[in-house]
Structure 1
Amino acid sequence: MTGRAGPVRAAVVGGAGYIGGELVRLLLGHPRVELATVTSRRLAGRRVSTTHPNLRGLTELTFTAPEDLGRHDVLLLATEHGLAMGAMRGLLDLADTVVDLSADFRLRDPAVFAAYYGGPHAAPDLLAEFVTGLPELHRKRLRDADRISVPGCMATAAILALHPLADAGLLGAGEVTVDGRTGSSGSGSAPSAANVHAERSGALRVFAPTAHRHQAEITQAVGVPARMTATGVEAVRGVQVLCRVPLADGVDEAATRAVYRRYYRDEPFVRVVAARRGTYRLPEPKILAGSNFCDVGFAVDPHGGWALLVAALDNLVKGGAGNAVQCLNVRFGWPERLGLEFPGLHPA
C-alpha cells in the first residue's frame, strides 16, 4: 500500500513486560507513530517509566487498565501466551490493525496448536486470518494485512537460517535439528524459582530437551521436519541457533554462500556472516543487543553431506518488538528501517 501520511495512533496491550517495554521504547522514537496508550492491569495508574527505567524523561505515559483501552489505529499485543486468543474478538473491534506478539496465532492448524500448547485453541476460526509477521518471507502479504502474528524469537532465527536452502531445494532428505540458546530475558519478567540469579548464573540449563514449541513454527514455515532443543545461557539478551542440516548431492560451500547472498542481498535486517577470519566469524548475539538485525551464517562440512547453519538476534527486538515495528512499516508503506536504525554496540 502507499505510505500513510499522518501519524498512526497506537496502543501497547500488556506493556509491563520486557517485550512490552521494547515496544514502548521503539514506538516512542518512531516518527510516524503516536503511542497513546500502554496497558497493564496490575500497574494501572503508575508511570510507565517506573517499570521501564530506561524511558525516564522520554514519556509521561501511565499504565491504563485494559478495560479502559478505547479505540486506536493499531494494537500491539504483548500479553502472556493464552490471553490474546480469548480476548481477540473484542480487541479486533478496537483497531483496524492488530499485531500479536504472543504465541496464540502463530500456528495455522488447531490440532498442531493443541499438541504443542496442551489444549484447544479458543478461537480456531481466526487462525487462518493472521499473516506471519516475518517480512523476509511474507512482505507482499503484510502490505495489506490487518491481523499479524509475530513469530517466536528462536523460531525467527531458525527460519531465517533454514529458509534459503530449503526454498532453493538444496536440503537433503530427512529432519533438521535446531539447537537454540537464549538469554534470561527470553523467560519474561515474571519471577520464577528457576530464573533467580543464584540458579541462573553460571548455568547452561537445557530447559526444553525435546519438542520445544518453536519447533512447530519452524516446520510450518520452512516445510521440512525439525527437531528442536533449547538451552538457557548466562546472558540477558540474545538468541543463537545452530541448525544441523543434510545437504542435497553436490551442494558445497560455494553453492551455499551463493544462495544466502541471493536471498538476503536486499534485506535491510538480515546479514550473511560466514567469514574465514576475524573475531566474529559466525553470528554472535552479543553484538546485536538492541538492534533489529538477524545475522545468518553457515559452515559446510568439507567431506560433504551436511552443514551447520547459525543465526543470531536480540530476542526482544528482531525476535519480538523490532520485528513487530518492521511489520508496521511494511503494512503502512513506510521505509522499512524507520525507527529501527540502532546498529547495536561493540564492545558490549
Structure 2
Amino acid sequence: MKAAIIGGTGYGAVELIRLLDKHPFAELVSVISHSQGGKGIEEVYPHLSDISKIQMDVFDIQKLNEVEVVFFATPAGVSKELIPECYRKGIRCIDLSGDFRLNNPANYEKWYKNSAVSSLYLDKAIYGLSEIYGEEIRDSKIIANPGCYPTATLLALIPIIRKGWLDVNTIIIDGKSGVSGAGRSISLQTHYSEINENVKAYKLGKHQHIPEIEQNIQKESKGFIEELDPKVTFTTHLVPMTRGIMCTIYGQLNDDSISADKVVEEYQSFYQDHPFVRVRPYGTWPSTKEVAGSNYCDIGIHLDSRTGRITFISVIDNLMKGAAGQAIQNLNIINGWDVRTGLLDIPVYP
C-alpha cells in the first residue's frame, strides 16, 4: 500500500517514517513539508540517510496519484484544509492533528482558536481509538487519530465507564509528559535550562485535550447518567525526559461493594483480545520506561476501600501509542491486517 506523510519534519512524522520503513505491506513514497520542500529527508534528520532517499516536496494533490493513504503529522489547522482534497481523490486519511477529533465545530473553535472544518467532512471522520472503535475505523476514509493524553486516559477509563461503576463527574486526571510531546519547535517552555531538573504544570484548564476526553466520556456514559455533560479536572505537566506519558486518574465508585479483584478481572477480560493494552496484576503499577519505544499502553489499578476512590495509572510512549504507533495500528485495521503488523517492538529498557 503506497503511503505519504504530510508534515514531514516533526517528531510524529519521523516516527511514522521509522515504522513504515519496516512495515511489510506499506511503502512510503512521498514526504511533504511546506517548510522543507526540495530538501532530502536526510538533511533534516541525518539518521535517515541509509533508510530513505525520498526528497521532500510541497503539497500538490496531482503528485499523489498513486498514493492510497496519507498520514497528516501537521499542526492543528492544516489537515482541515488538505484532507477534503485527498478525500475527494479517494485517498484514505489518518490525521494525527486535532482537526477532526471534536464532533462539535464550536468546541473546536473555542479550544483550538481556529475555524472548524466543514461538517461535510467532519461528519465522515471516525475517532481512531483503536481498541475501542475498531469496527467503525475499519470502514472509515477519515480517521482522527486520538491525542496522546486522551489515549492514555480513555483506555484506562472506558471499561469501568461502560460497566456504570464510576461517577463520571468525579474524574481527576494528573498527566505528565516528556518534552517531545511539545514538538520540535524551539520555545522557552522546552529550553534545556528551563526543563532540565524541573517539573512544570502548563495549560491548566485550557488544554485542547480536555474537550476530547469529555466528548468520549459522554459518549460512553449514555445510559448510566442523566446529566450527559460530564466535566473533568485535567492538569498537565512537563517532566525532564524525552518520551513518555503517565496519566494518574482518580474517580469515585458508584457502588461500595465493587472489589479491586472484580475491577482487575473486568479489565483483563475487556482487553484480552487487544495485544497492545496490558493490564497489570493488582498491586503493581507501570512506569513510562516500561513502554518506551513501543505501542503498548500499560494500566495499573488501585482501589482505596477507605475512601471509595479508584486510581488508574496509565502509561504510553507519546510518540508511539500516543501518535505514530496508533496511526499504524489504524492503518492495519482499515486493511484487515493483524493489528500488530509492523509494531511488534519490545520496549526499550532501560
User: Scaled by the length of structure 1, what TM-score is found?
Assistant: 0.93
Given the alignment, which residue of 159, 164, 167 partners 1:164?
159
Query: Residues 86, 197 of structure 1: CA spacing in aligned structure 2 closer, same or farther, 3 A cutoff?
Result: same
SS at match of 1:136: coil
Say whether residues 1:175 and 2:170 are aligned partners.
yes
Query: Residues 271, 112 of structure 1: CA spacing in aligned structure 2 closer, same or farther, 3 A cutoff?
Result: same
Shift of 1:294: 0.6
SS at match of 1:92: helix
Query: Residues 191, 94 of structure 1: CA spacing in aligned structure 2 closer, same or farther, 3 A cutoff?
Result: farther
Structure 2: 5+ residue stretches without partners: 219-229
Shift of 1:214: 1.0
**Which residue of the partner structure matches residue 226 of structure 2?**
none
How far apart in 2 are the matches of 1:328 and 1:61?
21
**Which residue of the partner structure matches residue 64 of structure 2?**
70
How far apart in 1 are the matches of 2:114 and 2:44?
32
Query: Residues 173, 151 of structure 1: CA spacing in aligned structure 2 closer, same or farther, 3 A cutoff?
Result: closer
**Which residue of the partner structure matches residue 41 of structure 1?**
34
**Which residue of the partner structure matches residue 140 of structure 1?**
135
Given the alignment, which residue of 281, 291, 305 partners 1:288?
291
Contact preservation (8 Å) 1:274, 1:299: no
Aligned pair count reads 336
Shift of 1:165: 0.4
User: Scaled by the length of structure 2, what TM-score is found?
Assistant: 0.92
CA distances 1:84-107 after superposition (whole Å, capped 9, x unpaired): 112332232344211111010001
CA distances 1:181-207 after superposition (whole Å, capped 9, x unpaired): 001000001111221101111111101
Say whether residues 1:225 and 2:231 are aligned partners.
yes
How far apart in 2 are the matches of 1:196 and 1:126?
38
Given the alignment, which residue of 32, 38, 48 partners 1:55?
48
Contact preservation (8 Å) 1:252, 1:304: no
Given the alignment, which residue of 189, 194, 198 partners 1:194?
189
Say whether residues 1:237 and 2:243 are aligned partners.
yes
Contact preservation (8 Å) 1:70, 1:94: no
Say whether residues 1:261 and 2:268 are aligned partners.
yes
Contact preservation (8 Å) 2:168, 2:251: no
**Which residue of the partner structure matches residue 300 of structure 1?**
303
Say whether residues 1:329 and 2:332 are aligned partners.
yes
**Which residue of the partner structure matches residue 90 of structure 1?**
85
CA distances 1:232-288 after superposition (whole Å, capped 9, x unpaired): 001100011011111111222112111111111111100002453xxxx31211121
Structure 1: 5+ residue stretches without partners: 1-7
Instruction: Report which stretch shifted further, 198-207 or 302-311.
Output: 302-311
SS at match of 1:245: strand
Say whether residues 1:116 and 2:111 are aligned partners.
yes
How far apart in 1 are the matches of 2:25 and 2:117?
34
Given the alignment, which residue of 169, 191, 203 partners 2:198?
203
Instruction: Report which stretch shifted further, 318-327 or 212-221.
Output: 212-221
Measured on the aligned residues, the alpha-carbon RMSD in Å equals 1.5
CA distances 1:108-144 after superposition (whole Å, capped 9, x unpaired): 1112212212243142332221011112111111111
How far apart in 2 are the matches of 1:83 and 1:41?
11
How far apart in 1 are the matches of 2:160 and 2:231?
14
How far apart in 2 are the matches of 1:335 and 1:111?
37
**Which residue of the partner structure matches residue 225 of structure 2?**
none
How far apart in 1 are the matches of 2:99 and 2:76?
6
Contact preservation (8 Å) 1:202, 1:234: yes
Say whether residues 1:10 and 2:3 are aligned partners.
yes
Contact preservation (8 Å) 1:204, 1:234: yes
Say whether residues 1:25 and 2:14 are aligned partners.
no
Aligned partner of 2:42: which letter? S
Aligned partner of 1:225: which letter? K
How far apart in 1 are the matches of 2:298 and 2:11?
22
How far apart in 1 are the matches of 2:119 and 2:195?
37
Instruction: Report which stretch shifted further, 117-126 or 58-67.
Output: 117-126
**Which residue of the partner structure matches residue 5 of structure 1?**
none
